[in-house]
Chain A
């Protein structure tokens, strides 16, 4: 199949970027979107042109490294799929496909389709950990956790941190990411000791980089792991509780 690709090209964070059109001919429908970009890059290199810079790693939808805006949708038209798992058969022969990097102030552009997502690391540093005893290994299943709770925590833990939620959000908010990272620990017994400091810290660090949630629900649809905005509600409830509980802790310490 043949497609017309309009790709965002930008040499550096400071330089002016723009769309460049490429005729990508004779590609297989079985290729993933990234493989199609690989083919295009090989052809560009052979022609002596700069290849398109894009992020990728595992290519099996579990690392969260890849991710671009395809035809105005984060990770493209197929829901519940990262860019690496999106196949060319989802496009029509001869279709024009627009490819853009994630756009958010919290994700500064590095080059072409590559953005710096270390703001997510800052958020996780704020409370994405638990306290554990580092003695001998505990017995398996020592802490009873109801199946449904474990399942829900696991749904949140499925977040791969790709940034599609921020990219898709009309407000550039990272609430789905932060909610997922907070919830998968807050739901489990192991996460309770830092529950309130975690929630307050992570939300407030998030707000230094990103916009605010107005409950459009775009993030949920863009998420390759289909993480529900129910977790955002959980985070909102926990944040309000955390504000009161942490205030009490401050008072106790004089």
Chain B
């Protein structure tokens, strides 16, 4: 009974911990959390595009959207409840994604303590795949600024006129400052670069592989990156160039 012998002799931690201990398990967690964050990003991007919609009874459409998010599933759930459930899930996904990336980076550094002295010439690894930890880390710092700017209204990240719930006004005030616009555009491009490798990589990590569809994984990664980047860039640029007033 080779199976039971080999399985028994190791000391076991609780199953999820045991699973997460392995690098393949961590990559699986990274893929699942990445997928969740992409789902959020798509919803967020679509929400942002409401900035282009006309006012409803004198109230900007995006303000109503913000209100609706707070009142998600009211009256079945109290106000804010579903929003906070979603937020908690999102924060948890970010924490796991970042922790897995961090510990795998440590593992990979240890796997080659003496590096090549001569120059390396890469064939398959591209700019996106080789800068994942940089694009990810920089994006994380941008995210802190973004939360201070829109969600929390902490100055100087947020404009002086920041007011809770006034999404449209805050939006306009924030992007009237050109360095902020540049920051957001840069972050959206970084996100696109990160996803170009991340989306493709996700399929591999989850073991979703079929020679018939494998080329489509690249197209999907490229397409999603471009759509998300453009979708996130459009509203800030529209404000900066005075398309929206």
The residues of A with any CB-CB pair to B shorter than 8 Å are 6, 8, 19, 69, 71-73, 79, 98, 100, 103-106, 109, 127, 131, 170-173, 193-194, 196-197, 200-201, 203-204, 207, 209-218, 220-222, 229-230, 232-240, 243, 246-247, 249-250, 253
Contacts and interface: CB of A to CB of B under 8 A. Distances in A.
Contact of A233 (B25, B112, B203): B203
Nearest to A217: B124
Contact of B7 (A131, A217, A250): A250
Q: Which of B104, B111, B197, B201 has the most CB of A within 10 A?
A: B111
B201 A230 contact: no
B23 interface: yes
A61 to B, nearest CB: 19
> In which size bucket is the chain B interface?
35 or more
Contact of B108 (A6, A172, A220, A249): A172
B2 A197 contact: yes
A211 B197 contact: no
A19 B209 CA distance: 42
B23 A253 contact: no
20 contacts: A6-B118, A69-B118, A72-B121, A98-B119, A109-B114, A131-B2, A172-B111, A193-B3, A197-B2, A197-B3, A203-B22, A204-B22, A213-B23, A213-B204, A215-B200, A236-B27, A236-B28, A237-B206, A239-B24, A249-B7
A214 B129 contact: yes
B214 A230 contact: yes
Given A72-B119, A98-B118, A220-B124, A203 B24 contact: yes
Q: Which of B27, B130, B207 has the most CB of A within 10 A?
A: B207
Contacts of A103: 112, 114-116
Q: Which of B19, B27, B112 has the most CB of A within 10 A?
A: B112
Interface of B: 2-4, 6-8, 12, 15, 18-19, 22-28, 104, 107-108, 110-125, 129-130, 132, 197, 200-201, 203-209, 211, 214
B118 A19 contact: yes
Contact of A215 (B2, B7, B22, B129): B129
B111 A100 contact: no
Given A172-B108, A233-B207, 9 more contacts: A8-B117, A19-B118, A170-B122, A203-B22, A212-B111, A215-B205, A218-B123, A230-B211, A237-B209
A71 B122 CA distance: 11
* Interface majority SS (helix, strand, loop, mixed), chain B: helix
B8 A250 contact: yes
Given A212-B26, A236-B28, A237-B207, A249 B122 contact: no
A109 B6 CA distance: 31
Contacts of A215: 129, 197, 200-201, 204-205
Contacts of A232: 204
B208 A233 contact: yes
A211 B112 contact: yes
A73 B121 contact: yes
Contacts of B107: 207, 211-212
Contacts of B130: 170, 216
Pairs A-B, 6 closest by C-beta atoms: A237-B207, A211-B111, A233-B209, A172-B111, A217-B124, A212-B23
